[in-house]
Amino acid sequence: MLRPSSRLKLCSPRMPFARWASSKVIGIDLGTTNSAVAYIRDPLDLKSVTVIENDEGKRTTPSVVGFDVKNGSYTVGEAAKRQALINPENTFYATKRLIGRAFQDKEIQKDLLHVPFKVIENPTNKHAYLSTSTGEAKSPSEIGSAVLSYLKRTAENYLNEEINKAVITVPAYFNDSQRQATKEAGKMAGLKVLRVVNEPTAAALSFGLNTSEYSGIIAVYDLGGGTFDISILDIEGGVFEVRSTNGDTHLGGEDFDNVLIGYVVNKFVEANTEVSKEALTKNREAMQRIRAAAEQAKIDLSHVKETRINIPFIENNKHINLLIKEHELDDMTMTLIEKTIPPVKRAMKDAEIEPEEVEEVILVGGMTRMPRIRSVVSDVFGREPNASVNPDETVALGAAIQGGVLSGEIKNVLLLDVTPLTLGIETYGGVFSPLIPRNTTVPVKKTEVFSTGVDGQTGVDIRVFQGERGLVKDNKLIGDFKLAGIEPMPKGVPQIGVTFDIDADGIINVSAAETGTGKENSITVIANSGLTEEEVNRLVEDANANRELDNLIRQRVELITKADIMISDTENAFKRFKQTIIKSPLYSEVLSELRSTRNMITDFKANESDLSTDVNDVKKATDQVQKRAMQLFQDAAKK
């Protein structure tokens, strides 16, 4: 992992923070279920960072938007949640689970079964969009933007001034496409998004600066309504360095609710055989009522040992009256809780630390109030989580602090965040050539020089991948572009510099330039789809399981490519200097060795998947031909 030695240090923790005039930057936690907005009341006092209450006096606002299709207006937050029962098809919630994702993603297809509104495929970008009952398409960014506008207004009403700058948080494991879509939502809401900050990093900022002079290694375990993140940070003298991050962008309270909803539905149809499961699940209003009651029961069970779900007149004048115990909820959701453990272990491994080195465990997100989750987290880290952090507010508070840092109101705090997955390009033979390893501190810029694989090649396809495997076919294509207009040259001669530039928001820009012709091209990577939970898990697990094999294949492809280029060079030299070297008695002998090595390479490439062939034979033969060709040229020169 990159650990810059020249990182900025806080001169003295007791040094007063300086203030300079600037417009306010609000911090927004745009959550799957709930959102919050915060600001810094007094930059000289970091403890003055405050969550702003909405017009209903609440400190968090449901991320729900309800459209009135008759008059074209919409409501946000509590008001939207209240009308959900009578307007289920036009009340959109948990749309953060869709943002920047392809409609065909397995996760999206699974979610479709549980939501009372319509999710459609946008014909242009193939992303998941929403549709009102009158067929009006809305992008998840538009829904996010409605929530952001509401929070912007909340802040403006409270502060009595116009606000147009914000820091917005996103799950750490969000990919490029999901980050772009979130920024877009901010722009649509009339906000200049100064920075997109990872949620656990924001939580750490708020914890670290509120706990005076905190230094040490902390783990932030963040399980909210829709996503799970784990980050390991090293906090020292005002420098917040993320050492690793991992997670699952499709795991959260919504999944727990869905499990409980399934349980309630099954119990109801078992007890009322005249009601079919299909009829009940198609009844949007009934399902909306079951959803609300199930979520409430889940929340209640964090405080009481048992609770009742009572829903009168659910179908055919029948009622739901069900007793649920805490251990029953624990048992039915244990597989979901356990899904958080492998990312935690991977994050610790990547940060090169053992659990006992973690000095504080910070819990973020409403789901971490569930006692079973707390006990699992305690077991994994071997310590009780820190109880001083408010899991609903800490992310927004951290975003506001980062806003203060960016506006210059807060000095001497430096945030060093990381990129969650390895980034690289495809090279000859389908090999994944990483440029930026996962958990590299951002912003980062890196250039590597590549060349062509075929003689006379005038264009190259730059295909950008994200993932942990050695071959591109096992990773995720996140964008591609062509660099054309290269002058025809022998393979291996053109010098193509490929530059990856990841900004502090985690957004990726890739450019390529050929030095000879000065041809240049670039893209800002906009992924066709987000990484599904399965893909993320598969990427890392498969990479570990297949590391040896991948390395072997990779080394073989690299060796053969090198040999191919060397033999091509020698063949070209033979053609060019034929008149001179033909005079040497060595000529025909070396020429035949050259031809047989060429045949070896051709055979090897034709049977690339046969791992029983020894690539070292090709290497030895190539080295030998090189040596013999040198002798031939020296001998010919003497004549």
Ligand X SMILES: Nc1ncnc2c1ncn2[C@@H]1O[C@H](COP(=O)(O)OP(=O)(O)OP(=O)(O)O)[C@@H](O)[C@H]1O
Which of 365, 385, 403, 420: binder of ligand X (CB under 6 A)?
365
> Are 177 and 100 a contacting pair, CB within 8 Å?
yes
Q: Is 370 in the site for ligand X (CB under 6 A)?
A: yes
Give the residue nearest to ligand X (CB).
253
Q: Is 62 in the site for ligand X (CB under 6 A)?
A: no
Look up residue 171 and give its DSSP letter: -
Phi-psi region of 238 (alpha: psi -120 to 50; beta: other; left: phi over 0): left
Q: Which stretch binds ligand X (CB under 6 A): 157-165, 361-369, 413-421, 515-523?
A: 361-369
- Using the minimum distance from each CB to ligand X, give the nearer residue, 202 or 218: 202
Q: Is 404 in the site for ligand X (CB under 6 A)?
A: no
Closest separation between CB of residue 103 and ligand X, Å? 20
Q: Is 96 in the site for ligand X (CB under 6 A)?
A: yes
Within 251-290, the residues that bind ligand X by CB under 6 A are 252-253
Report the C-alpha gap between 501 and 498 in whole angstroms.
10
Closest separation between CB of residue 174 and ligand X, Å? 10
Q: Is 295 in the site for ligand X (CB under 6 A)?
A: yes
Q: Which stretch binds ligand X (CB under 6 A): 150-158, 293-301, 326-334, 482-490?
A: 293-301
Q: Is 292 in the site for ligand X (CB under 6 A)?
A: no
Q: Is 367 in the site for ligand X (CB under 6 A)?
A: yes
Closest separation between CB of residue 322 and ligand X, Å? 18
Which of 105, 199, 326, 564 is the catalytic position? 199
Question: H-helix or E-strand containing 637?
Answer: helix 615-638
Is 603 designated active site? no
Establish how many alpha carbons lie within 13 A of residue 181's alpha carbon, considering only the half-sphere containing its beta carbon.
30
Closest separation between CB of residue 137 and ligand X, Å? 23
Report the C-alpha gap between 82 and 62 in whole angstroms.
10
Q: Is 302 in the site for ligand X (CB under 6 A)?
A: yes
Closest separation between CB of residue 337 and ligand X, Å? 12
3-state SS class at 150: helix
Please provide the distance, in angstroms rounded to a whole number, between the alpha carbons at the two ends of the chain.
57
Closest separation between CB of residue 42 and ligand X, Å? 26
Closest separation between CB of residue 33 and ligand X, Å? 3
Which of 29, 241, 392, 564 is the catalytic position? 29
What is the distance, to the nearest Å, from the Cα of residue 246 to the centroid of all Cα atoms in its chain?
9
Q: Is 299 in the site for ligand X (CB under 6 A)?
A: yes
Within 470-529, the residues that bind ligand X by CB under 6 A are none
Is 222 designated active site? yes
Closest separation between CB of residue 63 and ligand X, Å? 6
Rg (CA), the chain: 29
> Are 219 and 361 a contacting pair, CB within 8 Å?
yes
From residue 198 to residue 217, the character string flagging contacts with ligand X as x (rule: CB under 6 A) and all else as - is -x------------------
3-state SS class at 473: helix
Which of 24, 81, 96, 183 is the catalytic position? 96
- Using the minimum distance from each CB to ligand X, give the nearer residue, 227 or 441: 227
Closest separation between CB of residue 339 and ligand X, Å? 14
Helices 140-159 and 176-188 cross at an angle (nearest 10°) of 50
Q: Is 369 in the site for ligand X (CB under 6 A)?
A: yes
Report the C-alpha gap between 167 and 205 in whole angstroms.
13
Task: For residue 282, count other CB atoms closer than 10 A to its CB.
Answer: 11
- Using the minimum distance from each CB to ligand X, give the nearer residue, 189 or 220: 220
From residue 579 to residue 618, the character string flagging contacts with ligand X as x (rule: CB under 6 A) and all else as - is ----------------------------------------
Query: CA-CA-CA-CA torsion for 528, 530, 536, 542, nearest 10 degrees?
Result: -10
Question: H-helix or E-strand containing 321?
Answer: strand 318-325
Q: Which stretch binds ligand X (CB under 6 A): 70-78, 81-89, 292-300, 549-557?
A: 292-300
From residue 10 to residue 39, the character string flagging contacts with ligand X as x (rule: CB under 6 A) and all else as - is -------------------x-xxxx-----
Which of 176, 326, 360, 392: binder of ligand X (CB under 6 A)?
392
Phi-psi region of 352 (alpha: psi -120 to 50; beta: other; left: phi over 0): left
Q: What type of residue is 281?
A: T
Burial readout 488-502 (b: 16 or more C-beta within 10 A, e: otherwise)? ebbbbbbebebbbbb
- Using the minimum distance from each CB to ligand X, give the nearer residue, 327 or 583: 327
Question: H-helix or E-strand containing 220?
Answer: strand 216-223
Residue 522 CB burial class (10 angstroms; 0-12, 13-18, ≥19)? middle
Q: Is 419 in the site for ligand X (CB under 6 A)?
A: no
Among the listed residues 64, 63, 111, the one whose alpha carbon sits nearest the alpha carbon of residue 250: 111
Is 392 designated active site? no
Which of 75, 227, 412, 529: binder of ligand X (CB under 6 A)?
227
- Using the minimum distance from each CB to ligand X, give the nearer residue, 226 or 470: 226
Among the listed residues 494, 472, 483, the one whose alpha carbon sits nearest the alpha carbon of residue 425: 472
- Using the minimum distance from each CB to ligand X, give the nearer residue, 321 or 390: 390
Strands 414-418 and 239-248: parallel
Question: H-helix or E-strand containing 518?
Answer: none
What are the two backbone dihedrals, phi and then psi, of residue 590, each rounded to the nearest 5 degrees? -70, -35
> Are 378 and 384 a contacting pair, CB within 8 Å?
yes
Site for ligand X, rule CB under 6 A: 29, 31-34, 63, 96, 199, 224-227, 252-253, 295, 298-299, 302, 365-367, 369-370, 392
Kindly list the catalytic residues: 29, 96, 199, 222
